[in-house]
Amino acid sequence: MAGSDKQKQSLYFPEGMLGEIKVEANRQDRSLSWIVQQAWRIARSEIMRFPSVGDVIGGVRRTGEQDEEPCPSTTRAHLRGGGRRRDLPSTAPVIVLR
């Protein structure tokens, strides 16, 4: 990877998840950044199947069909809160990827 391809970015993880990432990075003698990059490469195709906020809002699909139950991550109430998940602590640990 060329030096110009790198960007600094802050990512917030729940404390337990960050701990697991650190343990795995230690086990593999790799950086936290490398572990997260590999996890993204492995999970990318599955994550791309998730509906976007524009596809589902309040349980109503763009086609006008009603879902049986609104998806909690894409409801208007969730979006009013700035997209922050309520189950995460307000000061979740952070790692900075370089």
More confident residue, 21 or 64: 21
d(CA 62, CA 13): 32
Confidence of residue 3 (pLDDT cuts 50, 70, 90): low
Helix (H, G, I), strand (E, B) or coil at 95: strand
The predicted pLDDT at position 25 comes to 98
Residues whose CB is less than 8 angstroms from the CB of residue 25 and which lie 6 or more positions away in sequence, other chains included: 31, 32, 34, 35
Q: What is the pTM of this model?
A: 0.53
Summary mean pLDDT of the chain: 74
55-69 pLDDT tens trace: 766 655 555 555 555
